[in-house]
Amino acid sequence: MTSSSEQTDVVVIGSGFGGAIPAYHLAAGGAKVTVLERGPWLQSEEFEHDYLLGSSYTRAFDFVVGDGMSVLGGNCVGGGSVVYFAAMPRAPRFVFERHGSIGRRMWPGEITRDTLDPWYDRVTEALPVATQTWDDVSYAGGLWAAACNHSGRTANPAPVAVDNDRCVNCNFMMAGCRFDAKRSLLTNYLPAALAHGAEIRPLHEVQRLERTDDGGYRVHYQVVDGEDYRVHTGGGVIEAKIVVVAAGAGATPVILQRSEPSLGELPHAVGRYFSGNGERLNTAVINEERVREVLGLSREDGLVYAANHIGKGPTVANWDKLDGSLPEYERYSLEQLYFPPGLGTILAQTHGGEEPRWFGAAKKEMLSKWASWLTIFLMTEDDNEGVFGPPPPTGNAFRISQQMLGRGPLSYKPTANTRRGWALADADCKAILEKDGLATVEPWTNDVVGAYTVHPLASCRIGDDPATSALTPGHELRGHPGIFVTDGSAVPGALTVNPAMTIAALAERAVPGIVRAARERGVDVSYGAPAPDGSTSGRRGVLKLSPVAGH
């Protein structure tokens, strides 16, 4: 195995929202930036319309099974933005006042919805994010909206980072967008970072960090084979003055834990307080005749929600319970979601009967009605009960298959608070869709891979209290100056909505502090780049950097 060593100003680990945003701003400000991404660099024409082994679907995903919790994340240049469904709501105001499992405010005192709004505005401009109209929603979304209305509830088209003029309604969003309609980071921050000289290296998996004698850091990586992710084909070391860790909430704490022998003691909260964003999924088997009679809706060609649905992923959400006057753990959103074959077909449970209900004759009958399934995504408030055990020898998991599947060190034992939130959201979803016989509804089982999340959060969270937060409010790792964490692991807890918008806004907010730290370490870098396309209207309330002596 070959090894090499080199130097740069900034190493960014990961190229999702938490990595791409700092990479762009630092490169635009004049720093030499190297981005290390463990996954492949896929082009638009490589995003395939199937879910076969070896396709873009398995190449671009990372599915890690833990003890009581499984995490599905992105594994490619662009990270989760390539495989997400592009729903971009802002977190409700009450989220920033949550106490959660520590019994006092989790978020740093300086961060509220009001102070984060200018950074939300910048992300909205940069991607950009659009508010859908009812003309943009899919039939499945319209059905969910009609069912909500029939039950006396409200429904809202979700804000999305999708160019609806380019979208062809193929619904292969989870395998990457062939048409560049989904505004992933491949269409904005990353090409802008490249234009300013940043270097992006795919299939480079960071293993650990260590200090250099001058106060910088060595980043040790291994090169991953492009077809079999269990195989390493080389390795090397890069020295940098600043390291931005943005490998995702399922990998960032593992890299840091593996680095502890060489870095020194880590904050207690590294690898603790993990949140699955309180997520849960329900499957409704629609009674098409009742929907026609009660709601007056039908799709006469028979392709109602079938296999690769006509339409998009999430298009309509019910936000009635996003009410700050409700007690904690009773607040949640219910979002219509398309989930492709695979986990959705395995984990869906049949209606009624004895446990287990995820396989058997009744499940076979349920599968025959696949064309009339509707999936509802529940995002609740959990108790941050996830804990990472000792890290595996390499990577974030023990690789089981050549792509996608691994066994990881995360342990998650849901508390009574978390279970109560799930139960309330399950019951609400059931009440809406089973009213007047519109459908039968059941949650996905937790018996097979435990609970599950596509939005892992909080495993290295920001906060004011050193005992319960790994990072300062400015995203710097406590006790380790020059290391910053800007991905979903920095978010203090569950958000009750899709978190990409908040992760991105926090990353934007963290950049001035990272630039300041880089300047203090002798990097000739400035802050103040516009949005990737040159826009500046979203830049109100921007922090100004004070001059650093000699720069």
pLDDT at 4 over 60: no
pLDDT at 538 over 70: no
**Residue 356 confidence (pLDDT):** 87
pLDDT at 2 over 50: no
pLDDT tens track for 418-456: 999 999 999 999 999 999 999 999 999 999 999 999 999
Over residues 315-337, the mean pLDDT reads 97
pLDDT at 545 over 60: no
User: Which comes out higher in pLDDT, residue 3 or 94?
Assistant: 94
- How many whole angstroms separate alpha carbon 139 and alpha carbon 309? 9
pLDDT at 206 over 70: yes
pLDDT tens track for 8-24: 999 999 999 999 999 99
**Residue 143 confidence (pLDDT):** 94
The CA distances from residue 318 to 183, 201, 353, 424, 428, in Å, are 24, 40, 29, 14, 11
- How many whole angstroms separate alpha carbon 353 and alpha carbon 226? 45
pLDDT at 82 over 60: yes
pTM of the model: 0.96
**Residue 544 confidence (pLDDT):** 41
- How many whole angstroms separate alpha carbon 27 and alpha carbon 235? 24
Structure confidence at residue 546 as a pLDDT band (50, 70, 90): very low
**Residue 173 confidence (pLDDT):** 86
What is the percent of the chain where pLDDT is above 70? 94
pLDDT tens track for 158-200: 999 999 899 988 888 888 999 999 999 999 999 999 999 999 9
Look at residues 475, 207, 472, 425 and name the one whose alpha carbon lies nearest to residue 322.
425
**Residue 57 confidence (pLDDT):** 87
Which strand (E) or helix (H) includes residue 329?
A: none
pLDDT at 307 over 60: no
**Residue 49 confidence (pLDDT):** 87
pLDDT at 517 over 60: yes
**Residue 547 confidence (pLDDT):** 38
- Pairing assessment for the beta strands 232-240 and 217-224 based on DSSP bridges: antiparallel
- Pairing assessment for the beta strands 316-318 and 156-157 based on DSSP bridges: antiparallel
pLDDT at 549 over 50: no
Over residues 231-254, the mean pLDDT reads 98
**Residue 304 confidence (pLDDT):** 54
Over residues 383-399, the mean pLDDT reads 97
- Beta carbons within 8 Å of 322's beta carbon, 6+ residues apart: 92, 94, 331, 332, 333, 496, 497
Do the Cβ atoms of 304 and 372 come closer than 8 Å? yes
pLDDT tens track for 130-146: 988 999 888 889 999 99
The CA distances from residue 380 to 65, 90, 95, 275, in Å, are 21, 15, 11, 11
Over residues 454-475, the mean pLDDT reads 98
**376: helix, strand or coil:** strand
pLDDT tens track for 247-268: 999 999 999 999 999 999 999 9
**Residue 309 confidence (pLDDT):** 59
Over residues 295-305, the mean pLDDT reads 74
- How many whole angstroms separate alpha carbon 290 and alpha carbon 485? 50
**Residue 437 confidence (pLDDT):** 98
Residue entry with tokens 């960090």: 209
User: Which comes out higher in pLDDT, residue 398 or 314?
Assistant: 398
**Residue 371 confidence (pLDDT):** 82
